[in-house]
Amino acid sequence: MSKRVLLGLVLACGLTASALAQEPKTGGVINAVIQPEPPGLMLAMIQNGPTQMVSGNIFEGLLRYSPKLEPQPELAESWSVSEDAKTYTFKLRKGVTWHDGKPFTAADVLFSVEMLKQTHARARNNLAQVDKVEAPDDYTVVFTLKQPFGPFLGIFEVGSMPMVPKHLYEGTDFKTNPYNNAPVGTGPFMFKEWQKGSFIRLVKNPNYYEKGKPYIDEIYWQIIPDAAARSVAYETGKVDVLPGGSVENFDVPRLSKLKDTCVTGAGWEFFSPLAWLWLNNRQGPLADKRVRQAIMYAIDRDFAKDVIWNGLGKVATGPSASTIKYYTDDVPKYPYDPAKAKALLKEAGYKGEKIRLLPLAYGETWQRWGEAVKQNLMDVGMNIETISTDVAGGNQKIGDWDYDIAFTYLYQYGDPALGVGRNYVSSAIAKGQVFNNVEGYTNPEIDKLFADGAVATPDSKRKEIYEKAQKILVEDVPVAWMLELQFPTITRCKVKNLITTGIGVNDGFKDAWLDK
Amino acid sequence: MLSFVAQRVVKGVIVLLAIVVLNFFLIRLAPGDPAVVMAGEAGASDQVFVQQLREKFGLDKPLPEQLFIYVKGIATLDLGFSFRQQAPVSKLILERLPATLLLTLTAFAISLALGVLFGTFAARFAGTFLDTAITVFALIFYAMPIFWVALMGILLFSVTVDWLPSFGYETVGANLTGFAHVVDVAKHLIMPAMTLGLFFMATYTRMTRASMLEVKRLDFVKTARAKGLSDAVIQRRHVLRNALLPVVTLAGVHAGTLIGGAVITETVFAWPGIGRLMYDALLQRDYNLLLGVFVTCSVMVLIFNLITDLVYRLVDPRIEFAA
Q: Which of B29, B33, B38, B46 should be substituted to probe chain A, the one whose Cβ sees the most A Cβ atoms within 10 Å?
A: B46
Evaluate if residue A275 carries a pLDDT over 60.
yes
Lowest mean pLDDT among A308-312, A372-376, B48-52, B84-88: B48-52
Report the percentage of chain A scoring pLDDT > 70: 96
Contact A394 B46 (CB under 8 A): no
| C-alpha closest to that of A418 among A408, A428, A433 | A428
Among chain A residues, CA nearest to B29: A393
* Residue B120 reports pLDDT greater than 80: yes
Alpha-carbon span A482 to A406, nearest angstrom: 12
Cross-chain Cβ contact A198/B270 below 8 Å:
yes
Query: How do A405-410 and A489-492 pair as beta strands?
Result: unpaired
What pLDDT shows up at residue B320? 65
Q: Report the pLDDT value the prediction gives residue B45, as an integer from 0 to 100.
A: 62
**CA separation for the pair A424, A417 (Å, rounded):** 11
Quick one: pLDDT at residue A174? Answer: 87
Global pTM value: 0.86
Residue pLDDT, tens place only, A424-436: 999 888 887 778 8
CB burial readout A78-105, b (16+ within 10 A) else e: ebeeeeebbebbbbbbeebebbeeeebb
Residue range B4-19: mean pLDDT, rounded: 86
- Give the pLDDT score at A396: 86
| Beta strand ranges found along A26-98 (DSSP E) | 29-34, 63-65, 71-73, 76-81, 87-92
Q: Is the pLDDT of residue B6 over 90?
A: no
Answer with the residue of higher pLDDT: B85 or B189.
B189
Instruction: Please compute Rg for chain A using Cα positions.
Output: 24
Burial label, A280 (beta-carbon count in 10 A; 0-12, 13-18, 19+): buried
Q: Give buried/exposed letters for A283-314 (b at 16+ CB in 10 A, else e).
A: eebbebebbbbbbbbbbbbeebbeebbbebbb
Task: Enumerate residues 6+ apart whose C-beta is below 8 A from B158.
Answer: A232, A236, B164, B165, B166, B191
Q: What pLDDT was estimated at residue A14?
A: 41
Pairing of strands B81-82, B87-88: antiparallel
Number of neighbouring beta carbons within 10 Å of residue B303: 15
Mean pLDDT confidence for A243-268: 91
Between B101 and A205, the higher pLDDT residue: A205
Closest residue in B to A202 (Cα–Cα): B173
Q: Does A391 score more than 90 pLDDT?
A: no
At B42, is the pLDDT very low, low, confident or very high (cuts 50, 70, 90)? Answer: low
Does position B188 have pLDDT exceeding 80, yes or no? yes
Most confident of the following: A87-101, A385-399, B149-163: A87-101
Q: Between A164 and A35, name the one with better pLDDT.
A: A164
Which residues from chain A sit within 8 angstroms of residue B153, using beta carbons?
Answer: none
Q: What is the pLDDT of residues A133-160, one digit of tens each?
A: 999 999 999 999 999 998 999 999 999 9
- pLDDT, residue A16, reads 40
Contacts of B158 in chain A (CB under 8 A): 232, 236
Determine the pLDDT at residue B85. 81
Confirm if B93 and B293 have CB atoms less than 8 A apart.
yes
Return the pLDDT at A389: 86
Instruction: Sort out which chain A residues have CB atoms less than 8 A from B284's CB and list them.
Output: 39, 392
Average pLDDT along chain B: 86
Shortest distance between the Cα of B140 and any Cα of chain A, in A, equals 23
pLDDT of residue B28: 84
> Looking at A205-280, which runs of residues are DSSP E strands?
218-223, 241-242, 261-264, 274-279
**Chain A contact for B59 (CB, 8 A cutoff):** no
Please tell me the distance from the alpha carbon of residue A256 to that of residue A265, in angstroms, as a whole number: 12
pLDDT band at B304 (very low <50, low <70, confident <90, very high): confident
Asked if the Cβ–Cβ distance from A198 to B85 is below 8 Å, we say: no
Band the pLDDT of A21: cuts 50, 70, 90: low
> In this complex, which of B47, B86, B172 lies closest to A432 when CB atoms are compared?
B47
> Can you give the pLDDT at residue B308?
81
pLDDT at residue number A7: 43
Could you report the per-residue pLDDT of A2-16, keeping only the tens digit for each?
444 444 444 444 444
As a whole number, mean pLDDT of residues A332-343 equals 96
A374–chain B nearest CA distance, Å: 23
Q: What is the pLDDT of residue A74?
A: 96
Coil/strand/helix, residue A495: strand
pLDDT value for A393: 87
Examine the pLDDT at B250 and tell me if it is beyond 60: yes
Q: Give the model's pLDDT for residue A63.
A: 96
pLDDT digits (tens, 9 = 90+) for B197-221: 998 899 899 999 999 899 888 888 8
Q: Does the pLDDT value for residue B280 go beyond 80?
A: yes
Q: Which of A459-473, B51-65, B121-135, B151-165 has the lowest mean pLDDT?
A: B51-65
ipTM given for this complex = 0.82
B299: helix, coil or strand?
A: helix
User: Would you call B280 an interface residue with chain A, using a CB distance cutoff of 8 Å?
Assistant: yes
